């Protein structure tokens, strides 16, 4: 018997877990309302069969396999199978279409795609058939040829009558792989043994806020080093549970679900679908959670709506409990004990705060993280007030997502914490944040020029972000370096900081700010759920999003919210004029990324007439927009937008102020 394999690659970690904990639950997926568990031994067996199936299809060491779809066990089986034979996966967001999808598939020279369902398969069929017929759109002409040969689907519903020669069922590939492997004893073990910790484990797309996304190559060493460094700060073990609902194409999900999951033996749970996600979260009660700000903002909005719909007694009780929780959180931040508030806080937690955490699925949560974009300090504070140990992290895809994080006893709402073990940080002379660690990526796939720009010869990753270290050694991130602005008196500030303050309002979904001679101006989109709930409470009828955003009452509501956000800002960076956009920002229109980061250059170009009108001091602006109906027909409509001027704004007398946990005054 040979020496045991080193546990330095994901396939070797899986092999070890299957040997030492064969009957423990590795994953569980909810189907038809029932949680279906998968043991470590079954997980490893399915990976082996699928790895053999990929090899039978011609996948070899060094190839790239794509996975397109929502999180399911098959996603991870495909990822580990590809890695087992020396290939790697590139994750594609399930909402990707057209140019973005073709860009990734052609750049990575993908021959095999594992797709979730009929929706994803249809996208790929169109790409393949267009390529075979020479119908590639002119704007895609410069892209390399599409090499896609095989599409493997893991949800067969709706695909029963498809007879395309390149389609394969996931379970059929496993069956073929099982037969193929039965005649090649030891072959896969040899392939896993040949694997190196420096091999590409996964390719993650960058956010692509200014251009097509780049493909960042991350090795097993990169990801496992980050897992080790994070769990040194916040220990995670096999008893902990994790609910996987964010795309595996995102580095954050690869970091927690895959790297921490395999290195610490976590049980990964997959919700049945998006509509049951909140209920499923409550059932599992995850111990660990990592989500971008939009998830935490959405949770806050949910709390605000629920509290607003509750009776007066529940509102009073929660308000009392929240005030106690907020005072205790403030003391903890300052390093002080709860003191005389301990007894009151215990009561408040039982009657007011814990029920809210339970509704959010956070009753058991010990480690909660937010990253990918800045989280507004007010949102951050809210979760600490209700007893959630939320921490801001800072990192990028190029450094496996996490380089800086808060510690339990050292949290500040306006910083992102201090570097984790093994990570060096310095601020360049121009204010750019530079990072160096074992988790800095291998480089951009087939893009050495961009790699050389990102990582210098000394190994420092140039983040492109501006920031500074405060007196306590905490990192304060200002904004993307190119987006940092300076006031007339020389103060540097961030548009993102102002936008996050605006988005703390439960009624504001997105905000993009621009400087002008009149002060800061903003294009704002409303949150249809919370604003719609408010409108119903006010007995304000409306039909569509466009109709709701055009209501004078809604514009007055947002005026109060913007004015409130302005209160603790210097006068030079207060939002003086804004417009409520007639539509939400949409990733399919390239206005935001798949992780909901605003593409500022697209907004500036597409809505240039509105931005100019805001800067000029106009009272209204008419824009032409194209409306596409369900039958595919299109019609151009001219929409008149009112520009709201807050220069001399005064809140109505006698108007109460709403608490942070409510949308009502």
The whole-angstrom separation of Cα 392 and Cα 378 is 13
Q: Which H/E stretch holds residue 534?
A: helix 528-537
Strands 404-405 and 418-419: antiparallel
Structure tokens at 253: 């999900």
Angle at 383 between CA 377 and CA 387, to 5 degrees: 140
Contact at 8 Å (CB) between 628 and 616?
no
Q: Where are the alpha helices (DSSP H) in 334-398?
A: 342-348, 354-359, 377-385
Residue 556: its pLDDT value, please? 94
Q: Which H/E stretch holds residue 466?
A: strand 461-469
- Of 58, 81, 248, 92, nearest to 166 by C-alpha is 58
Sheet holding 575-580, edge to edge: 508-516, 519-526, 575-580, 634-645, 620-628
Residue 497: its pLDDT value, please? 83
Task: Using 70 as the pLDDT threshold, list the residues of the chain that sit under it.
Answer: 1-6, 208-211, 488-489, 491, 627-633, 654-657, 663-665
Q: Which sign, positive or negative, has the C-alpha torsion 252, 256, 262, 267? A: negative
pTM of the model: 0.87
Q: Say which residues have a Cβ less than 8 Å from residue 638's Cβ, sequence separation at least 6.
A: 622, 623, 624, 625
Burial of 74 (0-12, 13-18, 19+ CB in 10 A): buried
- Which tens digits make up the pLDDT trace of 19-69? 999 999 999 999 999 999 999 999 999 999 999 999 999 999 999 999 999
Residue 105: its pLDDT value, please? 97
SS3 151: strand
The whole-angstrom separation of Cα 141 and Cα 497 is 39
Angle at 478 between CA 476 and CA 481, to 5 degrees: 130
The whole-angstrom separation of Cα 517 and Cα 422 is 46
Contact at 8 Å (CB) between 76 and 51?
no
- Which tens digits make up the pLDDT trace of 394-445? 999 999 999 999 999 899 988 999 999 999 999 999 999 999 999 999 999 9
Task: Name residue 522's beta-bridge partners.
Answer: 513, 578
- Of 471, 479, 477, nearest to 496 by C-alpha is 479
DSSP conformation letters of 229-278: HHHHHS---TT-EEE--S-TTSHHHIIIIIIIHHHHTPEEEE-S-GGGHH
Tell me the CA distances in angstroms from 624 to 128, 292, 390, one per residue in order. 35, 33, 43
Domains in the chain: ranges and CATH: 10-196+234-282 (3.40.50.12780), 288-435+471-482 (no CATH), 487-645 (3.30.300.30)
The whole-angstrom separation of Cα 365 and Cα 353 is 14
The whole-angstrom separation of Cα 171 and Cα 592 is 36
Residue 413: its pLDDT value, please? 87
Distance from first CA to last CA of the chain, Å, rounded? 72
Residue with tokens 């994790």: 242
Strands 492-494 and 484-486: antiparallel
The whole-angstrom separation of Cα 576 and Cα 572 is 10
């Amino acid at each position: 018997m040979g020496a045991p394999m080193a546990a330095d690659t994901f396939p070797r970690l899986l092999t070890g877990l299957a040997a030492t904990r064969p009957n423990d639950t590795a994953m569980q997926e909810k189907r038809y309302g029932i949680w279906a568990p998968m043991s470590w031994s079954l997980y490893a067996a399915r990976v082996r069969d699928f790895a053999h199936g990929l090899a039978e299809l011609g996948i070899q060491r060094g190839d790239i396999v794509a996975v397109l779809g929502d999180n399911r066990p098959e996603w991870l089986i495909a990822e580990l199978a590809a890695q087992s034979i020396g290939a790697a996966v590139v994750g594609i967001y399930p909402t990707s279409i057209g140019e973005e999808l073709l860009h990734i598939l052609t750049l990575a020279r993908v021959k095999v795609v594992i797709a979730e369902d009929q929706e994803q398969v249809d996208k790929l069929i169109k790409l393949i058939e267009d390529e075979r017929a020479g119908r590639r759109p002119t704007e895609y002409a410069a892209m390399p040829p599409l090499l896609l040969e095989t599409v493997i689907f893991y949800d067969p519903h709706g695909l029963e009558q498809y007879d395309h020669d390149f389609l394969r069922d996931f379970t059929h590939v496993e069956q073929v792989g099982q037969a193929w492997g039965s005649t090649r004893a030891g072959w896969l073990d040899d392939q896993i043994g040949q694997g190196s910790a420096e091999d590409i484990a996964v390719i993650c797309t960058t956010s692509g806020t200014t251009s097509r996304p780049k493909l960042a190559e991350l090795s097993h060493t990169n990801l496992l080093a980050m897992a080790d460094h994070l769990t040194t700060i916040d220990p995670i073990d096999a008893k902990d549970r994790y609910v996987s609902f964010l795309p595996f194409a995102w580095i954050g999900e690869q970091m927690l679900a895959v790297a921490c999951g395999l290195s610490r033996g976590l049980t990964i749970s997959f919700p049945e679908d998006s509509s049951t996600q909140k209920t499923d979260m409550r059932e599992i009660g995850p111990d660990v959670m990592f989500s971008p700000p939009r998830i935490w903002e959405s949770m806050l909005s949910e709390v605000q709506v629920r509290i607003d719909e509750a009776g007066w007694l529940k509102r009073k009780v929660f308000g009392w409990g929240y005030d106690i929780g907020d005072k205790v959180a403030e003391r903890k931040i300052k390093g002080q004990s709860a003191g005389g508030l301990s007894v009151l806080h215990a009561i408040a937690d039982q009657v007011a705060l814990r029920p809210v955490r339970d509704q959010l699925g956070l009753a058991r949560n010990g480690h909660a993280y937010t990253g990918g974009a800045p989280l507004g300090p007010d949102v951050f504070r809210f979760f600490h007030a209700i007893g959630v140990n939320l921490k801001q992290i800072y990192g990028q895809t190029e450094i496996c997502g996490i380089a800086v994080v808060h510690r339990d006893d050292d949290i500040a709402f306006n910083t992102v914490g201090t570097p984790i073990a093994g990570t060096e940080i310095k601020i360049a002379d121009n204010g750019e944040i530079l990072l160096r660690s074992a988790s800095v990526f291998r480089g951009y796939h087939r893009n050495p020029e961009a790699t050389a720009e990102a990582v210098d010869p000394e190994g420092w990753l140039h983040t492109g972000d501006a920031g500074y270290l405060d007196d306590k050694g905490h990192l304060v991130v200002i904004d993307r370096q190119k987006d940092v602005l300076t006031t007339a008196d020389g103060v540097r500030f961030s548009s993102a900081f102002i936008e996050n303050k605006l988005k703390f309002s439960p009624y504001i979904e997105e905000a993009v700010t621009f400087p002008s001679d009149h002060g800061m101006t903003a294009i704002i989109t409303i949150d249809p759920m919370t604003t719609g709930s408010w409108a119903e409470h006010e007995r304000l009828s409306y039909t569509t999003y466009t109709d709701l955003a055009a209501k004078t009452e809604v514009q007055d509501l947002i005026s109060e919210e913007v004015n409130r956000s302005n209160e603790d800002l210097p006068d030079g960076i207060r939002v003086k004029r804004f417009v409520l956009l007639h539509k939400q920002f949409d990733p399919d229109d390239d206005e935001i990324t798949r992780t909901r980061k605003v593409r500022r250059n697209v907004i500036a170009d597409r809505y240039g007439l509105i931005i100019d009108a805001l800067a000029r001091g106009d009272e209204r602006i008419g824009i032409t927009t194209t409306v596409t109906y369900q039958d595919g027909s299109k019609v151009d409509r001219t929409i008149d937008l009112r520009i709201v001027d807050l220069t001399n704004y005064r809140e109505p007398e006698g108007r109460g102020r709403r608490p942070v946990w409510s949308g009502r005054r």
